[in-house]
Structure 1
Amino acid sequence: MPERTTPQFPDVWEIASAVPGWLTEAQAELLWQTALACPGAPMVVEIGSHEGRSTIMLAAAAASSGGRVVAIDPFVEGRLFGGSKTRDSFEKNLAEAGLSESVDLLAEYSTRARPSWVRPIDYLYIDGKHDYWTLSDDLKWADHLPDGAPVLIHDCFSSIGVTLGILAHVLPSRRLTYERRVGSLALFRVTPPTMAARRRILAELPWWLRNVAVKVMLRLRMRRTAAAVFGHRDAFDPY
């Protein structure tokens, strides 16, 4: 067999960044580096794929060592999510990136897929529905991870539902440790937390409250005020 070569981040990001999505370059690099660091041929579970920007990053990294991605997304119909059109774009983008054979698509709600899931996984990326109840359930996928495995959560400390889920389930957890974040992409790891790790979660609350205030201002069409008070000049929510 020919020896596998690891692609370079800039080359993969050039492809992924052409796909619509809310993953920044710095966040993509965090996904990339943590996936490359997984031993062996990693099994990556991604919850929430949209058109495949993050999927491309994860699949390229995993495939470089013989691993693969299970992408879980129900592709809900409607203006916000796009339904079957978004799924068509997802599959097209993977094909154009040459990664279709490294991704298994599970077109289902993560909360419905989880109870029957029995396979061990090595890496968990959560970017699904951002309400408290879904995030709380999605965290249970971590039960299939080995010690030391990464859990990455997008829109963490920027979404009310996600942050409340973190405070309720991760802050008191004896198994998940918060390490750091890039924007709203937070890195946790399957390892017993120290008190310092718990304090790191609490230290993010001012940033979370800032983001909630920005969201309120954007919905009230107070974009100039959000820029003046918080330095948020984007038309989109903090991510």
Structure 2
Amino acid sequence: MSDRPALDFEAVWEVASTIPGWLTEEQAKLLFDTARDLSSAPLLLEIGSHQGKSTIVLASAALAQGGQVVAVDPFVDGRLFGGASTRTKFENNLREAALGDAVELLPEYSTRARPTWTRDIDYLYIDGKHDYWTLADDLKWAEHLPDGAPILVHDCYSSIGVTLGVLAHVLPSRTIRYERRCGSMALFRVGRPSWEDRRRILREVPWWLRNVLVKILLRLRLRPVASRLFGHEGPYDPY
């Protein structure tokens, strides 16, 4: 492994794709491209890092411009999140990718870290706890962003809690506008939204409801029905 990360997305994805996580190649490219569009020495903040799949994508783009990623993750113990063992895998993956110096780990809940945060950031990626209240709080990190800065939200229009948070706090917002999505990865930007920006959010509601129905069918062990009715393949929730 070289001392510096590759600058092209294909080489970055070759490394990141080997790490477990719910991030598609197209979504990773959206993360990478929006990060590469930032000015020099950017500070990126990632909420929810797991084993570092998205962190490696963001850190590769940031390091190429003399920047850094702050990775916020409490590494909660338990079967679902893995706790200390997941943190060890996260740190090992960054070290093997030669990106340890490009990432500052903040092992804390995002909702606890935010009230005392004082640094400006240039980029916000939200993939933390998927309930309504946490998403609503995570959006408040945007107050540290400049106008036009990207806010990317994973599992948007897929998770019930995340989508309800977007409908309640972004749809009526005067400071965040919706741009587009890639699968369940939604791209917002700091800025005054137009009515068309708001309508674009509402036009995603049918796709969100479709995903909710798919999840229900999967919980009922009716995967063939989900495939036949909605074209959903595989055992995992839409992401």
Flag whether TM exceeds 0.5 (same fold): yes
Query: What are the within-5 Å matches in structure 2 for residues 81-120 of structure 1?
Result: 81-120=81-120
Q: Distance in 2 between matches of 1:194 and 1:168?
A: 17
**1:50 counterpart residue number:** 50
Q: Distance in 2 between matches of 1:224 and 1:6?
A: 41
**2:19 counterpart residue number:** 19
1:67-88 CA-to-partner distances (Å, cap 9, x unmatched) read 0000000000000000000000
Percent sequence identity is 67
The letter of the residue matching 1:146 is P
Q: Distance in 1 between matches of 2:195 and 2:117?
A: 32
5+ unaligned residues in a row in structure 1: which ranges?
A: none
CA contact (8 A) 2:132 2:161 kept: yes
Please state if 1:73 is matched with 2:73.
yes
**2:64 counterpart residue number:** 64
**1:121 counterpart residue number:** 121
Runs of 4+ in 1 over 6 A off after TM superposition: none
Shift of 1:233: 1.0
**1:227 counterpart residue number:** 227
Q: Distance in 2 between matches of 1:159 and 1:9?
A: 27
Please state if 1:174 is matched with 2:174.
yes
**2:132 counterpart residue number:** 132
Shift of 1:40: 1.6
The letter of the residue matching 1:139 is L
The 3-state SS of whatever aligns with 1:74 is: coil
1:164-208 CA-to-partner distances (Å, cap 9, x unmatched) read 000000000001010000000000000100000000000000000
Q: Distance in 2 between matches of 1:210 and 1:100?
A: 40
CA RMSD of aligned residues (A): 0.9
With structure 2 as the length reference, what TM-score do the two structures score? 0.98
The 3-state SS of whatever aligns with 1:125 is: strand
Shift of 1:28: 0.2
Shift of 1:6: 6.4
Residues paired across the two proteins, number: 236
Shift of 1:5: 8.8
The letter of the residue matching 1:148 is G
Q: Distance in 1 between matches of 2:57 and 2:28?
A: 7
**2:196 counterpart residue number:** 196
The 3-state SS of whatever aligns with 1:235 is: coil
With structure 1 as the length reference, what TM-score do the two structures score? 0.98
**1:155 counterpart residue number:** 155
